Amino acid sequence: MNSPIIAHPDFYASLVFNSSDLISILSPTGVYKYVSNSSTTILGITPEEFIGKSTLSFMHPDDVPIALNAIEQIRSRPTIHLPPFRFRHKNGSWRWVDCVVKDMTADPNVKGIVSNARDITDKVEAEQQLEMREAYYSSLFLNHPDAFFHLNPEGIIEAANQGMEPVLGLPIPQLVGRPYADFLTSQSIKAAKQLFSQALLGYSGTMELEALNFEGRTVYLSITAIPVILNGKVTGIHGIAKDITQIMQAQITIKEQAELLSSVFSSITEGFFVIDKQWRIKYANPFFILFFGLQIKFFKEQELWQVAPELHNSPFFEVCQQAAQTGKTVHFNEYFPERQQHIRFAIYPFSGGLTVYFDDVTLQKKKEQELLDLSLVASRTTNGVVIMNAEGKVEWVNDGFSRLTGYSRQEAIGQVPSKLLQGPGTNPETSARIYQLYASQQPFSQEVLNYKKNGEIIWFHIDVTPVFNEAGQLVKYVAIENDITELKQKETEMLQLTENLLRRNEDLQQFTYIVSHNLRAPVANILGLSYLINSEKNRDSDKFEKALTKIAAAANHLDMVISDLNKILSPLKNAANALQEPVNIHSIVQAVTAGLQEQLEAVHATLENQLPPDLTLTGSIAYFYSIFNNLITNAIKYRNQETDLKITISGQTESQKITILFTDNGMGMDLEQVNNQLFQLYKRFHPGTEGRGIGLYLVKTQAEAMGGRISVQSEPGKGTTFFLTFSL
């Protein structure tokens, strides 16, 4: 500084004069005494314009206190560096000025306060702008409701805003200074590293990561990493964290439910699919895939008609449209001739499209049809058809059953057929057998006498088949009832005929035998007697005489037998077509009694005819006459010697039949001894009485020829009753 050039006073004047700083000299009250030339450059005001004016008049009113403060302090302090203040430019704008003042009042060369000011407007404005930016940033970073954090290039958290606290439940001091990886689950660290290294290369990115909160529970965060680039270099990374745990949990729940639904749909044995409003398949279960023979990959999102063209242009399409329009569920069946299948559809419309269930019901339809056919057959057949439950109670009968038995379906249902139809004429053994056969649960056939509702007899041939379910349990019986009444009647008639023929044949054999004995007996006697007569030399002998008498008796006997034969043969001859004339029995008895009046009176006999006077039977007058004649004659013959004979003839009517009782108080018989030979030809049971054993034989033969029957009750010593039964 002490160089020779400084010595000259002009040097300093020139320095001040040309300096870019504004140098001025002020009075102690702030009035300008000198202003350097630079004032024109800096403020557009010439130095002359400053002289004599107060510095305060050029200052910004807000900054005046700074000047007043400096004027006050300058007396006690030699140099003051004022804070920046604003100074008026000639054009009206304000310029920031940095100013240093020094009190040089004591210096004789100056005698005033030197002010050295510099225009710092550009600097101050730049500083102010920087402050504003920082305020923005800090406001954005610290006060933003989202969670923000800052990482340095080493991955250490350098800062975190208030929003970060609730995310993990940790206070910010516990976050700052620690590497980010400390807060993530091990599964997420790898992904996080990728995001971090991308950011270090200058790329932003977002990832969903799993972090652990203060309790050690997993929280799902969406992390966005933004690189902070300064001068083309990444100096740090900003991070934004969003808690998406609830969203994630909702997504997991949705996914789980979707899987559950899918498994439910897959397990549905019916076909199931969902289509949207554009007929695109949104879902279809395996049955659908199988049914339409699809490859799983190719059907989703395809139009239904492409996958299953047969559903197009079919009633199904129309019904779907209808369901979509009305929003109402539709059930319907459709037959697909090419498949030969009946498909049952259930279509449920919903806001997004249609849900369709479908099932192959071909078998079911077939069974329904079969059942329909069967029921048609069963109802139209002339036979009776009865369906019973496992307890044997009627569930259904056809019209044929009602026609045959007279019981309507309503009357039959719930009844046990055996109990409903069997009656007093049903053979109890047959009844028991049917019961056992039902219990045996085996198919069986049986002929049985049943009764119609009106009491008429009907013979059924029944075929019963038990029906079992898949488990082998008895569920039903099916019975077919065939009316065999006519057949049975013919069978009965045939049996009757055979019986009659057999009996007649027996009778004939008996007849032949008896006739041969009885016819030969007198012949043998005659032969013997004639031999005796021929060989007897003495014709006057007693023996000769006896033989002659006896030969006459024997010849008479023979004659009698021959006349008997005539009587006997007559009913046999006419048996096939016995006379069919009405005969009043009461009158016949009266006539017979009259004819035998003499004989009856001779033995003091009484006869009581108690028969109804109008009793009329169909037959032959001669036979009825012969019957009563024989019975009365017999009664006289075999009367009890100790009491007077009493004969009673009465009738008992019972269901289309009359039994005539012929009772006497005669000798009676031991029926055990008589055995069953009483009514046989030439059988005599009373030794010592006259009789040829033809009377009762004739009674029986004649009664039977007219469709009657005869039986007897007797007790030795008390009397005999004959029972003659005829159809009315």
| Interface residue list for other proteins (CB under 8 A) | 513-514, 516-518, 520-521, 523-525, 527-529, 531-532, 543, 546, 550, 553-554, 673-674, 682-688, 693
Nearer to other proteins, 51 or 553 (CB): 553
User: What token pair was written down for 137?
Assistant: 């940033």
Strand partners, 661: 650, 723
Phi, psi of 614 (to 5 degrees): -100, 15
CB of 698 to other proteins, least distance (A): 17
Token reading at 120: 């710092």
Placement of tokens 């009250």 in the chain: 29
Q: How far is the CB of 681 from other proteins (least distance, A)?
A: 11
Considering the complex, state which of residue 473 and residue 673 has its C-beta at the smaller distance from other proteins.
673
Q: Give long-range contacts, CB 8 A cutoff, 24+ apart: 183-186.
A: 183/211, 183/212, 184/209, 184/210, 184/211, 184/212, 185/210, 185/211, 185/212, 185/218
Nearer to other proteins, 23 or 698 (CB): 698
Confirm if 96 and 119 have CB atoms less than 8 A apart.
yes
**Quick one: DSSP state of residue 6?**
G
The one-character DSSP state at 103 is: E
Identity of the residue, 693 or 708, whose beta carbon is nearer to other proteins in the bound complex: 693
Q: Parallel, antiparallel, or unpaired: how do β-strands 457-468 and 444-451 relate?
A: antiparallel
H or E, element range at 69: helix 64-73
Q: Are the C-beta atoms of residues 157 and 178 closer than 8 Å to each other?
A: yes
Task: Round to whole Å and give the CA distance between 486 and 716.
Answer: 48
DSSP string, 365-383: HHHHHHHHHHHHHHHHSSS
Nearer to other proteins, 312 or 546 (CB): 546
CB of 720 to other proteins, least distance (A): 15
- Shortest distance, CB of residue 507 to other proteins, whole angstroms? 17
**Least distance (Å) from other proteins to the CB of residue 557?**
8
The region that residue 200 occupies, defined by phi over 0 for left and psi between -120 and 50 for alpha, beta otherwise, is alpha
Closest approach of other proteins to the CB of residue 512, in Å: 10
Q: Which is nearer to other proteins, 443 or 716 (CB)?
A: 716
Q: How far is the CB of 555 from other proteins (least distance, A)?
A: 11
Q: Is 683 or 700 the residue whose CB approaches other proteins more closely?
A: 683
User: Cβ 561 to other proteins, closest distance in Å?
Assistant: 11
Helix runs in 92-201, H state only: 121-143, 164-168, 172-175, 186-200
Q: Note whether 24 and 117 are within 8 A (CB).
A: yes
User: Between 138 and 516, whose beta carbon lies closer to other proteins?
Assistant: 516
Q: Which amino acid is at 187?
A: Q
150 versus 700: smaller Cβ distance to other proteins:
700
Task: Find the shortest distance in angstroms from Cβ 516 to other proteins.
Answer: 4
Name the residue with tokens 């606290």: 165
